[in-house]
Structure 1
Amino acid sequence: MSIESPIFTPVTIGPVTLRNRVIRSAAFENMAYGNSPSQDLYDYHVAVARGGVGMTTLAYAAVDRSGLSFDGQLWMRKEIVPDLRRITDAIHAEGAKASIQLGHCGNMTHRSTCGCMPVGASGGFNMYSPTFVRSLKINEIHDLVKAFGNAVNLAREAGFDCVEIHAGHGYLISQFLSPYTNHRHDEFGGSLENRMRFMRMVISEVMKAAGDDLGVIVKMNMHDGFKKGMQRAECLEVAKELERLGVHAIVLSAGFVSKAPMEVMRGAMPLKTLAHYMDMKKFWWLKAALLTIGRLLIPTVPYREGYFLEDAMQFRQVLKLPLIYVGGLISKDKMEEVLAAGFQGLQVARALVHDTDFVNKLHSGEITCSGCKHSNYCIGRMYTLEMRCHHCVENMPASLRKEIEKAEAES
């Protein structure tokens, strides 16, 4: 028996039609060991496709080596196309579509990972790594624009149906957009019109490369999450510009990983988990800081289901293109509420980390809500090891179990 619901009706994004409205969002898996696809990455996304989603999204793939922030992140290059094709073929065999998120981390990396001095919209010192960062030169900006177009062509060759361009969360496009990270005095800085220039160039190149057979989705911020960042009014103008440029859908998110990380994910960062899995030799100082003043560095932002919906409605009211909602969806009722509010797609991450069969179980009526209770263990773990829910981990230290139980009790 299958439950009748708008969740399980087809939706079209540009040239691509999905079997239902649920999209596995581009949450970092940390499964691209050596920056290449792995069997773990294959197994996870095929399981999610088998579990009933309309489309699954492989997380952040850097368009250039300088855009890598982790060793377990994909780096989009010719030699990994066959392994990516193996994944997309298997996803398609399960009846789902495949997307890949393309981006550049900008200043949120370290020389040991990206192979060069980190670059950003502006230079300075980044506490995230920590490391010194230099400002991109004009010719380098143009080279990165071309790298985005090349990555789209590689995505087509690898069998993807859609690409998702990451223009939020304080990564490179977002660094150009935000006055907090863009202090340039040339044509790429100052006014919002100038700060949008890099995004406009990237999206124009992406749309040209996508042609008429690839869907183009853009993830962007509705606000940065702090006073000196972008606020809603400017973000609305960014969204209107993306609509004018012809993108097929927008994912509406918020937050800045280097400044307001829990604005993105909500709840509490599990600091003991985060510190436990860190490499003591490489990050002893950060580990110590997390265990002493971690809550000051990464303050809790309360979680509630559908936490971005009120903000997203402001964008729905002024835009005509398809909008994809992301932000703490775990129940059939809330998902239907979002669709009734005029959103075309639903992005889900933690519910699909908890159970890759989440969508099938909703559709059959076996469940009406995910068992995920947002302890955020998967987030604390994914910066060091492969993404995994705590209920899939054996022999976990008692201190981490207690942290999880406390977080779940408070959620």
Structure 2
Amino acid sequence: MSPNPPEPFSPVSLGPVTLRNRVIKAATSEGRSPHGLVTDDLIAFHRAFADGGVGMTTVAYCCVSPQGASAPGQIVMNEAALPGLRRLTESVHEGGAAISAQLGHAGVVAPKKLTGVTAVAPSRFVNPTSFAYCRQITRDEIRSVTAQFAAAAQIAVDAGFDAVELHFGHLYLPSSFLSPLINRRKDDYGGSIDNRSRFVREIAARVRDTVGGRIAVIAKLDMDDGLPGSIWIDEALRTAALLDADGALDALELTQGSSVYKPMYLFRGDVPVREFATVMPPAMRPAVRLVGKQTMGVCPYQDLYMLDAARQFVPVMRNTKLVLLGGITERSHIETGLREGFDFVAMGRALLREPDLVNRIRSDPSTRSRCTHNNKCMVTVFGRTHCVLDPDQRYGGVSPVQQRGELLA
């Protein structure tokens, strides 16, 4: 515990970028780019967080290739997306905030119905949620995906982003290499945790070589994924230490859970089974209602729910700043994170409910979030992500229906 924690709302350096404060809007699926391109609606979504006082907002899950998509409507980081991305970054900058692009390849959770190709994994694998078969990725394809991350980062530079966030969590492709359950390779990308960390280290190094000192480079890393026999804190600490020693990252955002197994381990709180059933194909709805809670997992919410795990990483980092995520909704939570040795905090669902929450906390430290952690916002990602308790969003926007429901049919 630091006896003199930094002031939450004073300017702070993140690599080559200066943020106006230490609060980052965490990546949350937006559902506002139905054709894979930036829309006015997406710009307004992130501009609201900028106007609301965050230091930086994060554009969620920008694909490094079409084959790396996890859902319809995700932006692919290529030349076609550049004009819209430039409008987005310019608007956020006008609002006084920085902006980051989260870069990812879905790997085991890339649906064949969407991508047109069989999903890839470190080793042959069957997704326990979708029962989809994933083939083993080749070494040539590993090099290709590494190059795709670098090319996507260059697009981010060209578009005016201040940072990129490399998605090394939630058992997407880079994260799945870290899992001893999914990664059963016999080459130098499998076996020991040092070998299983090779892919994420190569991605981080290649991205840093590409962007140099022009923008910040962040990685989002699983501390544990909730899948028995998979990623846990002991090996995640080693991966973090290796990334830290490489010096390619400016910050590490710590997360938990996966997109493969019991997603409530990431979100915590109420399980919106009835709402999920309504967006599933009719034939699947009875099963969702019957076993949805067991499939999604029951994980009670508590404030700062990732802190106990995340504090293990503080003494490991020498060169890399740390971002605390999970159950941060008020000023006391922010101050606790900074006292514990974290450099930044990231907020997600609370800002969906109140995009101006940071400004309100800054002006009145006693401000309490209106987020109830009912998690019904999770279901809105099937259409247009929003807080269901916000009438302007719920009734003024596009209804959350079909895109992914049709994919699952």
Report whether the alignment pairs 1:193 with 2:194: yes
Contact 1:219 1:250 in 2 (8 A): yes
* Structure 1 residue 111 displacement after superposition: 1.5
- Paired amino acid for 1:380: V
Please name the residue that 1:311 is paired with. Answer: 309
Between 1:59-68 and 1:190-199, the stretch displaced more is: 190-199
Please name the residue that 1:407 is paired with. Answer: none
Q: What CA distance in whole angstroms lies between the structure 1 residues aligned with 2:144 and 2:250?
A: 25
TM-score under structure 1 normalisation?
0.91
Please name the residue that 1:349 is paired with. Answer: 348
Encode CA deviations 1:327-352: one digit per residue, 9 max, x unaligned.
01011111111111111101001111
Report whether the alignment pairs 1:227 with 2:228: yes
Please name the residue that 2:401 is paired with. Answer: none
Unaligned runs of at least 5 residues, structure 2:
1-5, 397-409
Contact 2:256 2:265 in 1 (8 A): yes
Q: What CA distance in whole angstroms lies between the structure 1 residues aligned with 2:143 and 2:363?
A: 50
Report whether the alignment pairs 1:254 with 2:256: yes
Q: What CA distance in whole angstroms lies between the structure 2 residues aligned with 1:333 and 1:252?
A: 20
Contact 2:154 2:211 in 1 (8 A): yes
Please name the residue that 2:139 is paired with. Answer: 138
What does 1:43-82 correspond to in 2, within 5 Å? Answer: 43-82=44-83
Contact 1:65 1:115 in 2 (8 A): no
What does 1:109-258 correspond to in 2, within 5 Å? Answer: 109-246=110-247, 247-258=249-260
Encode CA deviations 1:273-303: one digit per residue, 9 max, x unaligned.
112133x2xxx44433211111111121011
- Paired amino acid for 2:104: G
The 3-state SS of whatever aligns with 1:151 is helix
The 3-state SS of whatever aligns with 2:221 is strand
* Structure 1 residue 115 displacement after superposition: 2.3
What does 1:388-407 correspond to in 2, within 5 Å? Answer: 388-393=386-391
Pick closer, same or farther for the CA change 1:379–1:40 going to 2, 3 Å: same
Between 1:133-142 and 1:221-230, the stretch displaced more is: 221-230
Q: What CA distance in whole angstroms lies between the structure 2 residues aligned with 1:177 and 1:276?
A: 35
Please name the residue that 1:296 is paired with. Answer: 294
The 3-state SS of whatever aligns with 2:35 is helix
Encode CA deviations 1:97-149: one digit per residue, 9 max, x unaligned.
01010010101021121121111112232233342211111111111110000
- Paired amino acid for 1:128: T
The 3-state SS of whatever aligns with 2:8 is helix
Q: What CA distance in whole angstroms lies between the structure 2 residues aligned with 1:189 and 1:54?
A: 38
- Paired amino acid for 1:265: F
The 3-state SS of whatever aligns with 1:202 is helix
- Paired amino acid for 1:129: S
Q: What CA distance in whole angstroms lies between the structure 2 residues aligned with 1:286 and 1:182?
A: 31
- Paired amino acid for 2:324: Y
The 3-state SS of whatever aligns with 1:31 is coil
Contact 2:71 2:114 in 1 (8 A): yes
Contact 2:125 2:182 in 1 (8 A): no
Please name the residue that 2:87 is paired with. Answer: 86
Contact 1:269 1:380 in 2 (8 A): no
* Structure 1 residue 72 displacement after superposition: 2.6
Q: What CA distance in whole angstroms lies between the structure 2 residues aligned with 1:333 and 1:86?
A: 35
Q: What CA distance in whole angstroms lies between the structure 1 residues aligned with 2:270 and 2:284?
A: 18
Encode CA deviations 1:144-173: one digit per residue, 9 max, x unaligned.
110000000000011100000010111111
* Structure 1 residue 366 displacement after superposition: 7.8
Q: What CA distance in whole angstroms lies between the structure 2 residues aligned with 1:245 and 1:318?
A: 13
- Paired amino acid for 1:337: T
Q: What CA distance in whole angstroms lies between the structure 2 residues aligned with 1:366 and 1:187?
A: 51
TM-score under structure 2 normalisation?
0.91
Please name the residue that 2:400 is paired with. Answer: none
Between 1:199-208 and 1:82-91, the stretch displaced more is: 199-208
Q: What CA distance in whole angstroms lies between the structure 1 residues aligned with 2:348 and 2:115?
A: 26
Q: What CA distance in whole angstroms lies between the structure 1 residues aligned with 2:366 and 2:88?
A: 28
Q: What CA distance in whole angstroms lies between the structure 2 residues aligned with 1:380 and 1:270?
A: 8
Encode CA deviations 1:238-296: one digit per residue, 9 max, x unaligned.
00011112110000111122113111111132011112133x2xxx4443321111111
The 3-state SS of whatever aligns with 1:40 is helix
Contact 1:109 1:129 in 2 (8 A): no
Aligned-residue sequence identity (percent) comes to 36
The 3-state SS of whatever aligns with 1:361 is helix
Q: What CA distance in whole angstroms lies between the structure 2 residues aligned with 1:92 and 1:395?
A: 29
Please name the residue that 2:376 is paired with. Answer: 377
The 3-state SS of whatever aligns with 1:74 is coil
Contact 2:23 2:344 in 1 (8 A): yes
The 3-state SS of whatever aligns with 1:200 is helix
Q: What CA distance in whole angstroms lies between the structure 2 residues aligned with 1:291 and 1:297?
A: 10
The 3-state SS of whatever aligns with 1:373 is coil
Q: What CA distance in whole angstroms lies between the structure 1 residues aligned with 2:283 and 2:192?
A: 38
Q: What CA distance in whole angstroms lies between the structure 1 residues aligned with 2:264 and 2:180?
A: 20
Contact 2:305 2:327 in 1 (8 A): yes
- Paired amino acid for 1:163: V
